[in-house]
Amino acid sequence: MNILITGASRGIGRAIAIEFAKNNHNIIICAKSDLEGLKTTKRLVENENVYCYTDLCDVTNEDSVKEFISDSAKAIGKTDILINNAGISYIGLLQDMSFEDWNKVLSTNLTSAFLMSKYVIPEMLKKQSGHIINISSVWGNIGASMEVAYSASKGGINSFTKALAKELAPSNISVNAISPGFIDTDMNKVFEKDELDAIFEEIPMGRAGSPSEVAKLIYKIATSDYITGQIITIDGGWT
């Protein structure tokens, strides 16, 4: 099967690509601008003796998404599993946030899932099979102070997931979301040691999760046909 992963130049996206490659799936990956990161992911994926199609794609731009989906299909074949992983964060007071930054977070985290899904669903419908997995966040479940836009975008992902799952279930296409807690990625490198210690005190397992732990869960969900419309949390008992 062909697995398409957005935002795969690092972190969770890279870990997902490697996990599926280890299980003998061909990989399609993109990022908006981090070409060097994509090349590294491609090398790690191809170490598992599978094919990896790589290109830049602005997942917030419809023309860019259409071109990427078309070019990847010509190179490797149609997408069987779509993993909408691209995302950015913003930390700060809502009243200090610019309209531009608000739109950037919503477009990257939510609109991207709409665009990618829109252009892979037609082929899934023809085959009457497929999986879409969206990467949400615990903040999409409960909200976070100083991260209103991020929380809103991930809450939107949760509703998007549940609604689309109902729409596509009769066609044997599943749609689920994974809701990670505090994961050891570049996005969380902004925290100082004392801040990290305070966060880990709140997490019953006492540590951050790893990208590979998230990737292993995603692989299990993507190979389970009867699970759909679910928001599955992986946070060490935090929430």
Closest by Cα among 78, 198, 203 to 129: 78
How many CB atoms are located within 10 Å of the residue 43 CB?
11
Q: What is the pLDDT of residue 185?
A: 86
Q: What is the pLDDT of residue 18?
A: 98
- Secondary structure of residue 79 in the 3-state scheme: coil
Q: Is 98 left (phi over 0), alpha (psi -120 to 50) or beta?
A: beta
Average pLDDT per block of 10 residues along the chain, 239 residues long: 97 98 98 96 98 98 98 97 97 98 98 98 98 98 97 98 98 98 84 89 96 98 96 97
The residues that are catalytic are 150
**Sign, Cα dihedral of 214, 176, 106, 56:** positive
How many CB atoms are located within 10 Å of the residue 132 CB?
28
Classify domain 2-234 at the CATH class level.
alpha beta
How far is 3 from 1, CA to CA, in rounded Å?
6
Pairing of strands 81-84, 231-234: unpaired
Q: What is the pLDDT of residue 191?
A: 80
Closest by Cα among 23, 59, 4 to 223: 23
* 180-225 pLDDT per residue, tens: 999 998 777 778 888 899 999 999 999 999 999 999 999 999 999 8
Q: What is the pLDDT of residue 41?
A: 98
Q: Is 38 left (phi over 0), alpha (psi -120 to 50) or beta?
A: alpha
Q: Is 181 within 8 Å of 12 (Cβ atoms)?
A: no
Backbone angles phi, psi at 205, to 5 degrees: -80, -5
Q: What is the pLDDT of residue 62?
A: 98
pTM of the model: 0.96
Q: Is 234 within 8 Å of 209 (Cβ atoms)?
A: yes
Q: What is the pLDDT of residue 105?
A: 98
Q: What is the pLDDT of residue 190?
A: 73
